[in-house]
Amino acid sequence: MEQKLKKNNKILNVAKILRRNMTRQEKTLWYDFLRDYPIKIYKQRIIDNFIVDFYCHRARLIIELDGSQHYTPKGKSHDEIRTEILEKHGLYVLRFSNKDIDEKFDGVCYIIDKTIKERI
Which residues make Cβ contacts (< 8 Å) with residue 75, sequence separation at least 6?
66, 69
Q: Is the pLDDT of residue 46 over 80?
A: yes
> What average pLDDT score do residues 29-35 get?
98
CA distances from 75 to 31, 81, 99, 113, 118 (A): 27, 10, 17, 27, 29
Whose CA is closest to 67, among 112, 19, 101? 101
Closest CA to 81 of 96, 93, 69, 65: 93
Spatial separation of the C-alpha atoms in residues 76 and 6, rounded to whole Å: 24
> What is the pLDDT, as a whole number, of residue 1?
36
Per-residue confidence (pLDDT) for residue 90, from 0 to 100: 93
Confidence of residue 17 (pLDDT cuts 50, 70, 90): confident
- Tell me: the pLDDT tens digits for 54-111? 999 999 999 999 875 655 777 778 889 999 999 999 999 999 999 999 999 999 999 9
In this predicted structure, what is the pLDDT of residue 69? 64
Contacts of 109 (CB under 8 A, 6+ apart): 33
Q: Give the mean pLDDT of the chain.
A: 89
CATH of 22-119, one of 1.20.1250.20, 3.40.960.10, 3.30.420.40, 3.50.50.60: 3.40.960.10
Query: Number of H helices and number of E strands within the chain?
Result: 5, 4
